[in-house]
């Protein structure tokens, strides 16, 4: 275990994911979607996992929730511990249901994520009936309260409507109400705003922040929108090709970016500040083939600063400070070039 | 809702009128004449019948007389059976056909939904492969073959136990109904199984089933509340045509199992050119099917909340 993980392991650590690896068998071969991921989630804080499509961010959280279809999926290594108790492959911790009770989850597309033939209220009431033993009537009454908490007007009337009578934003609010029904300590939000238009996105993010303040739950936010990260996150993990390449506080990652991929993402992000007008710089090329992942750093083929070593040997975690680390050989003391756009720790020579 | 029902009912009546008209003109183009057999009737009877149906009148007049009669619910008198009204034949024998048909539809629907769901849950494993093999058999083997084979099996079964476990043919008790209903429903059940399987497979990997799993619901609850209800929708859609397939398929099964249903009269009437019976039973069956299709459409509203009647 690296120093970075050890540092953060304290009383407020709620969830600890260690060396998680997930594979999928396909006709084309075995895809190594997640290749050894470590992170922790602190109580009441928001961890954002950022990365482009196919980098394994959704698979990471879905494997924790037991949502990976097995087969073809397979968790080949690693552990995920909630308050020190293993949850991978289990449904109960200390006799309490994990999914839907201690960890809630919302998804990308609210339009298809709710059962079309069941009323919203009944769907929200379900976890309460199953995990808390509420009667159908009591659970439905609570569902109305939860809809009110999620700021849905006329909640009592809305509760007995069907998903097709809701708009996309309203459905995502209902999803949130459902996910928090049993007061989970962690809410996993898998691209919660990707399918919504921009004004609604802001409302949903506000709602998530308000609910976090009210309930003190931790949020694991999966997104590829750096704007959302800046607004919501306390900590950020940048994922690429099934691995976390940079991790740190939101300020660390944005202002002291220590990995060329993070830098590339920032340059590819549009901004509306007229004083900082620049053309968007795409990251050339495409992510590596995860049927046969590269020996070295996954980003090496696209990295403008790649060295010979990068493509043959996988970099370890180079700690910048505290929990901020980067998996990039440029931080090695022996690396000759030190691009000035990149952040380098003063103590990096020690490694 | 009510205006929709009224509209559908009017459309239904129009359909029945079309069936009646088509049958009428088709029958008039069939060569032969039921009154031409001198042995059956005297000149007096012949004259009476001609006067009643206007058989000596032009075709259009006959057609109008025919329409007026059936709009009063009078399908006329059989041309070949003594003293029997078509209405009596229907009243006497349709309940038998209907009982058999309803049993067959129930058997096909329940069986199709259950087998379909089962094959989807055991996709590509032994139960799936086995059931799908039987389904393909059920779809491809015609009902008269299945009927004959099942009769043979019944004979062997009763022989083996030395007493009648299930009667081989006839009508009267529940034990008479079971095997014919299964034979009659088999093809439709096979078809519904296939439909249900593909619909279920689609839903097993749907987003809302994933949501249900993330809520930590037990698999039985996910199956009944989230998968079954949604997977059943396409099955309900084809239920109307399925009822039609089963009822029309009933003729053969009734014949093989010697069941006194309406189907036998229908077939015999065609062979004997019993005009009134042919036209009466055709129109009656047509009206029955149209009504069943409307019923299924209305039923759909209660199953899928997204459907509105208008």
Q: A129 and A85 in one domain?
A: no
Q: Does residue A153 share a domain with residue A15? A: no
pLDDT (0 to 100) of residue B310? 62
A168 at B interface, C-beta within 8 A: no
- 50-69 in A: which are within 8 Å (CB) of B? 65-67, 69
| Gap between the Cα atoms of B47 and B57, Å rounded | 12
**pLDDT attached to residue A144:** 92
Is the model's pLDDT at A5 over the cut of 50?
Answer: no
Confidence class for position A100, pLDDT limits 50, 70, 90: confident
Taking residues A329-344, report their average pLDDT. 77
Q: For an interface test with B, which of A73, A101, A113 has the most B Cβ atoms less than 10 Å from its Cβ?
A: A113
> Do residue A286 and residue A329 come from a single domain?
yes
**Minimum CA–CA partner of B208 in chain A:** A113
Last residue of a domain, one of A142, A157, A181: A181
Q: Which of A207, B247, A150 is nearest to A158 (CA)?
A: A150
pLDDT at residue B299 greater than cutoff 60: yes
Residues 166-185 of B with CB under 8 A from A: none
Looking at the fold, whether A267 and A325 belong to one and the same domain comes out as yes
HEC secondary structure over A288-316 = CCCCCCCCCCCCCCCCCCCCCHHHCCCCC
How far, rounded to the nearest angstrom, does the alpha carbon of residue B250 sit from its chain's CA centroid?
7
pLDDT score for B11: 92
The pLDDT value recorded for residue A6 is 45
Rounded to whole angstroms, the Cα distance separating A246 from B245 reads: 64
Helical H segments across chain A, by residue range: 3-8, 57-64, 120-132, 136-149, 155-159, 168-179, 198-215, 226-232, 250-255, 260-267
ipTM of the complex: 0.84
Q: CA-to-CA distance for B52 and A4, rounded, in angstroms?
A: 103
Partner B contacted by A8 (CB < 8 A): no
| Highest CATH level, class, for B1-310 | mainly alpha
What mean pLDDT is predicted for residues B197-226?
89
Chain A nearest-CA distance from B206, in A, is: 8
What pLDDT is attached to residue B192?
93
Return the sign of the alpha-carbon dihedral for residues A336, A339, A342, A346: positive
What average pLDDT does the segment A249-257 reach? 86
A109 domain residue, yes or no:
no
User: Is B205's pLDDT higher than 80?
Assistant: yes
CATH number at residue A333: 3.40.50.300
Contact (CB<8Å) A113/B210: yes
Residues A171, A211: one domain? Answer: no
Round to whole Å and give the CA distance between B307 and B310. Answer: 9
Contact flag B212-A115 (C-beta cutoff 8 Å)? yes
Read off the pLDDT of each residue in A161-166 and give the average, rounded to a whole number. Answer: 90
Min distance B87 CA to chain A CA atoms (Å): 44
In a domain, A107, yes or no: no
pTM confidence score: 0.78
Q: What is the DSSP string of A36-105?
A: EEEEEEETT-EEEEE--TTSSHHHHHHHHTT-S-TTTEEEEEEEEEETTEE-TT-SEETTEETBTTTEEE
Answer whether residue A279 shows pLDDT above 90. no
- Statement to judge: residues A147 and A267 lie in one domain: no
Could A130 and B218 be called an inter-chain contact, meaning their C-beta atoms sit closer than 8 Å? yes
pLDDT grade, residue A8 (50/70/90)?
A: very low
For residues B9-32, give the mean pLDDT.
88
Region B138-167: mean pLDDT is 86
Measured in angstroms, the CA of A100 and the nearest CA of chain B are apart by 4
What mean pLDDT comes out for the span A333-346? 75
Based on the domain organization, do A162 and A208 belong to the same domain?
no
Q: Which pLDDT score, from 0 to 100, does residue B107 have?
A: 93
Asked if A65's CB is within 8 angstroms of B208's CB, the reply is no
Domain boundary among A181, A196, A215: A181
Contacts of residue B213 in chain A, CB cutoff 8 Å? Answer: 65-67, 99
The SS3 assignment for A18 reads strand
Task: Say yes or no for a CB contact (<8 Å) between A130 and B226.
Answer: no
Chain B residues lying within 8 Å of A98, measured CB to CB? 216
> In DSSP terms, which residues pair with A26 in a beta bridge?
A29
Q: What is the pLDDT of residue B26?
A: 87
User: Are residues A269 and A249 part of one domain?
Assistant: yes
Mean pLDDT, chain B, whole residue set: 84
- Residue B124 in contact with partner chain A when CB distance is under 8 A: no
Mean pLDDT, all residues of chain A: 84
Structure tokens at A182: 């049993």
- Cβ-based neighbours of B86, under 8 Å, separated by 6 or more: B75, B76, B77, B78, B276, B277, B280, B281
What residues in B contact A100, CB-CB < 8 Å?
A: 214-217
Are residues A208 and A325 both part of a single domain? Answer: yes
Tracing tokens 């439909």 back to the chain, one arrives at B195
For chain A, give the percent of residues with pLDDT over 70: 93
Any domain includes A108: no
Specify whether the CB–CB gap between B253 and B151 falls below 8 A: no
Same domain, A208 and A291: yes
Chain A, chain B: beta-carbon pairs less than 8 Å apart: 80
Question: Within a domain: residue A227?
Answer: yes
What is the distance between the alpha carbons of residues A285 and A298, in angstroms, rounded to a whole number? 12
- Average pLDDT over every residue of A207-231: 89
Task: Tell me which of A13-27, A223-237, B124-138, B269-283 is least confident.
Answer: B269-283
The per-residue pLDDT for range B253-287, each reduced to its tens digit, is 888 888 888 887 887 888 877 888 888 888 888 88
CA distance A86 to A80: 6
Question: Does the beta carbon of B125 lie under 8 angstroms from any beta carbon of chain A?
Answer: no
**pLDDT confidence bin for A293, thresholds 50/70/90:** confident
Of the listed ranges A31-45, A79-93, B144-158, B220-234, the least confidently predicted one is A79-93
- A173 and A258: one domain? no
Residues of A in contact with B121 (CB under 8 A): none
Examine the domain organization and report whether A131 and A258 are in the same domain. Answer: no
The set of residues, in sequence order, having a beta carbon less than 8 Å from that of B235 and lying 6+ positions away, is B109, B112, B113, B116, B192, B195, B196, B199
> What are the angstrom distances between the C-alpha of A204 and each of A44, A108, A215, A237?
18, 12, 16, 22
B36: β partners: none
Tell me if B210 and A100 make a contact (CB, 8 A cut-off).
no
How far B229 CA lies from chain A's nearest CA (Å)? 7
At residue B215's C-alpha, the angle toward residues B214 and B218, to 5°, is 100
Q: Which of B213, B217, B230 sits opposite A116 (nearest CB)?
A: B230
What pLDDT, in 10s, does the model give residues A53-95? 888 888 888 888 888 887 788 888 888 888 888 888 777 776 6
Decide if A81 contacts A26 (C-beta within 8 A).
Answer: no
The residue ranking higher by pLDDT, A1 or B251, is: B251
Is any Cβ of chain A less than 8 angstroms from the Cβ of B206?
A: yes
- Secondary structure percentages of chain A, helix, strand, coil, to 5: 30, 25, 45
Mean pLDDT for B49-56 is 74
pLDDT for A16 beyond 70: yes
The structural domains of chain B, with segments of one domain joined by +, span: 1-310
Say whether pLDDT at A9 is over 60.
no
- Tell me the residue range of the domain where A146 lies: 114-181
Contact A67 B208 (CB under 8 A): no
- Tally of structural domains, chain A: 2
Under an 8 A CB cutoff, do A99 and B216 touch?
Answer: yes
């Amino acid at each position: 275990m690296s120093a970075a993980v050890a540092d953060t392991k304290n009383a407020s650590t709620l969830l600890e994911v260690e060396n998680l690896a997930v594979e999928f068998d396909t006709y084309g071969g075995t895809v190594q979607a997640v290749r050894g991921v470590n992170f922790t989630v602190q109580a009441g804080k928001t961890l954002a996992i950022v990365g482009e499509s196919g980098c394994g961010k959704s698979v990471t959280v879905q494997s924790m929730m037991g949502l990976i279809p097995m087969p073809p999926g397979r968790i080949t290594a690693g552990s995920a511990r909630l308050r020190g108790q293993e949850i991978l492959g289990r449904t109960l911790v200390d006799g309490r249901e994990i999914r839907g009770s201690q960890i809630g989850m919302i998804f990308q597309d609210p339009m298809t994520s709710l059962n079309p033939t069941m009323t919203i209220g009944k769907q929200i009431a379900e976890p309460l009936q199953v995990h808390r033993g509420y009667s159908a009537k009591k659970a439905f009454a609570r569902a109305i309260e939860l809809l009110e908490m999620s700021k849905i007007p006329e909640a009592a009337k809305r509760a007995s409507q069907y998903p097709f009578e809701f708009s996309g934003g309203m459905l995502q609010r209902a999803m949130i109400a459902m996910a928090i029904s049993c007061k989970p300590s962690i809410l996993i939000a898998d691209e919660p705003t990707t399918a919504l238009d921009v004004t609604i996105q802001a409302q949903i993010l506000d709602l998530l922040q308000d609910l976090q303040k009210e309930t003190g739950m931790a949020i694991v936010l999966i997104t590829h929108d750096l704007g959302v990260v800046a607004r919501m996150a306390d900590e950020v993990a940048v994922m690429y090709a099934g691995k976390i390449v940079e991790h740190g506080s939101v300020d660390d990652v944005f202002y002291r970016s220590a990995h060329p991929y993070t830098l590339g993402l920032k340059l590819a992000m549009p901004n509306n500040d007229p004083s900082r007008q620049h053309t968007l710089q795409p990251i050339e090329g495409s992510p590596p083939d995860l049927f046969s992942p590269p020996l070295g750093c996954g980003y090496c083929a696209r990295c403008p600063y790649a060295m010979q070593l990068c493509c043959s040997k996988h970099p370890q975690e180079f700690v910048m400070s505290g929990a901020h680390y980067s998996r990039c050989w440029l931080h090695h003391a022996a690396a000759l070039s030190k691009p000035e756009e990149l952040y380098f720790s003063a103590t990096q020579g020690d490694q | 809702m009510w205006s929709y029902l009224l509209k559908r009912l009017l459309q239904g009546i129009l359909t029945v009128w079309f069936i009646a008209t088509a049958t009428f003109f088709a029958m008039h183009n069939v060569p032969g004449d039921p009154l031409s057999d001198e042995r059956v009737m005297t000149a007096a009877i012949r004259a009476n019948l001609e006067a009643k149906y206007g058989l000596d009148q032009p075709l259009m007049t006959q057609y109008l007389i025919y329409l007026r009669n059936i709009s009063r619910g009078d399908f006329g008198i059989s041309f070949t059976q003594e003293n029997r009204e078509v209405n009596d034949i229907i009243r006497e024998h349709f309940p038998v056909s209907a009982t058999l048909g309803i049993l067959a539809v129930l058997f096909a629907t329940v069986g199709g939904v259950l087998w379909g769901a089962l094959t989807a849950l055991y996709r590509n494993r032994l139960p799936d492969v086995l059931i799908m093999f039987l389904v393909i058999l059920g779809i491809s083997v015609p009902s008269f073959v299945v009927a004959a084979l099942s009769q043979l099996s019944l004979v062997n079964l009763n022989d083996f136990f030395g007493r009648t476990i299930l009667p081989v043919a006839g009508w009267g008790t529940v034990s008479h109904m079971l095997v014919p209903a299964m034979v009659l429903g088999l093809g439709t059940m096979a078809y519904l199984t296939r439909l249900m399987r593909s619909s279920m497979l689609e839903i097993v990997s749907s987003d809302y089933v994933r949501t249900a799993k993330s809520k930590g619901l037990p698999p039985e609850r996910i199956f009944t509340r989230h998968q079954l209800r949604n997977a059943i929708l396409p099955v309900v859609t084809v239920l109307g045509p399925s009822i039609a397939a089963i009822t029309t398929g009933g003729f053969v099964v009734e014949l093989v199992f010697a069941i006194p249903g309406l189907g036998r009269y229908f077939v015999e009437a065609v062979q004997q050119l019993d005009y009134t019976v042919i036209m009466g039973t055709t129109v009656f069956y047509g009206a029955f099917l149209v009504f069943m299709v409307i019923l299924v459409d209305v039923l759909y509203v209660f199953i899928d909340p997204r459907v509105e009647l208008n």
